[in-house]
Structure 1
């Protein structure tokens, strides 16, 4: 059996990006999968990497075998456009969980604006795909984020919920904005039981005597679970520097990461 032809991944990336689409597809699909992954890894511009993913009929395998950080860079360029919904379903459950653990936290704290954008992208997914991904999302986090934007009018709402009469169009639910309404509609269409769990979490927050304390407790619990997952992944990967250590030792703002490097250019 002949061994795969040796390639220079960065040079091949430039060649592929310079070719007409049909020729690029034929060439990229002629490579072994490992070679395709090497080319993708060598392509540091996220938008260029996205173009390469689309050179195969179904990029699910390539995305699932790519580092989560590399996939996140690609998805991050699409946030807020609805276009990320085309690639999100390609993620494995484990990748999606890891992606959120990276993408919606800053210095160990929840980035609510980022989470809101990711929820919007999720709401644009096909409902079967959304249902699968929602099962990897901590519903407490969703409830804490949307608290105040999705409100139950009165305590009778819980009775409607328990007998199955509460859905996103119910007059018992008020929405502060159209995005929160769209997110709730998408959750309901994808998995009505997850929607009911979400409403129960909202109701639990609202019925506490000290709502702010309950919200803080919810965030703390989610943060602790996330920290445990990150620590477990680091241990499995043999990483002994914690996220807190990294923040303490490295001034991330001072790092010049040339993610916008032109992959069609020449080596420096």
Structure 2
């Protein structure tokens, strides 16, 4: 049974320290005995992101707890393992809105696209299963994806537009030459998750009108930034 009773004062930080010092099986039993709101209080009171992550694993399915947690708290946890592949364990538990809010925070730096950060997040996403990957990729503006991948692979064909329009090309096609393994891994994942999104991405990466490519990309990125700024402003307004 949980340590909480009618005669004791509930101290989330103390409960957290106690749980994390117990044998795992015993800690799971105790933690699962708390109502959800108390579980969240214990998690929120645990400021070390790695220790906070441990608490989520004390329940059989942590999806509900994660989606009820603040985006900032979850971003702190995920940031400790980004680039290692381990963040992909928790990413599928996020709600679509949480993920979109995270992208608004991490892929923009001083008003400019942070391609390094986006690249790391796409690597983690590529390790998720196809259904989860498809769900989250659609929350990233296609122009942002194209900007990050442009120049990292080539399609050697005199009929590039025709191949893209007809959907006869995929990441395994001999015409595609990748300049790094990360870009290949990402395109493989996009293709596996959603063939239509893959085709749209190629349209954006190469552009059917080369002369308009630069201006179209700039417009797409500007639109994505404006939409992001509007979402952030709306969240700030709702939070008062």
TM over 0.5: yes
Shift of 1:11: 0.3
Q: Give the distance between the partners of 1:151 and 1:221, measured in 2 at CA.
A: 26
Q: How does 1:95-174 map to 2 (within 5 A)?
A: 95-154=98-157, 156-174=159-177
The match for 2:197 is 194
**Which piece of structure 1 moves more, 2-11 or 148-157?**
2-11
Q: Which residue among 206, 209, 232 is the counterpart of 1:230?
A: 232
Shift of 1:108: 2.5
Shift of 1:164: 2.2
Q: TM-score, normalised by structure 2?
A: 0.92
Deviations 1:99-136 (A, max 9, x none): 11112222232211111000000001111111111121
The match for 2:28 is 25
SS of residue paired to 1:174: strand
Deviations 1:205-229 (A, max 9, x none): x743275555443332221221111
Q: Give the distance between the partners of 1:151 and 1:144, measured in 2 at CA.
A: 14
Contact map agreement 2:143 2:217 (CA 8 A) in 1? no
Gaps of 5+ in 1: 239-268
Q: Give the distance between the partners of 2:136 and 2:7, measured in 1 at CA.
A: 36
Contact map agreement 2:82 2:121 (CA 8 A) in 1? yes
The match for 1:52 is 55
SS of residue paired to 2:177: strand
SS of residue paired to 1:125: coil
Q: Which residue among 43, 50, 72 is the counterpart of 1:40?
A: 43
Higher relative contact order (CA 8 A, sep 6+): 1
Residue 63 and residue 88 in structure 1: after superposition, are their counterparts in 2 closer, same or farther (change >3 A)? same
Q: Give the distance between the partners of 1:225 and 1:153, measured in 2 at CA.
A: 35
**Which piece of structure 1 moves more, 157-166 or 17-26?**
157-166
1:78 matched to 2:81: yes
Deviations 1:12-50 (A, max 9, x none): 010011111111111110100000000111001000011
Q: TM-score, normalised by structure 1?
A: 0.83
Q: Give the distance between the partners of 2:157 and 2:216, measured in 1 at CA.
A: 18
Question: RMSD across aligned C-alpha pairs, in angstroms?
Answer: 1.9
Q: How many residues align?
A: 236
Contact map agreement 2:16 2:46 (CA 8 A) in 1? yes
Q: Give the distance between the partners of 2:7 and 2:67, measured in 1 at CA.
A: 22
Shift of 1:203: 2.1
Gaps of 5+ in 2: none
Contact map agreement 1:104 1:114 (CA 8 A) in 2? yes
Q: Give the distance between the partners of 1:145 and 1:5, measured in 2 at CA.
A: 54
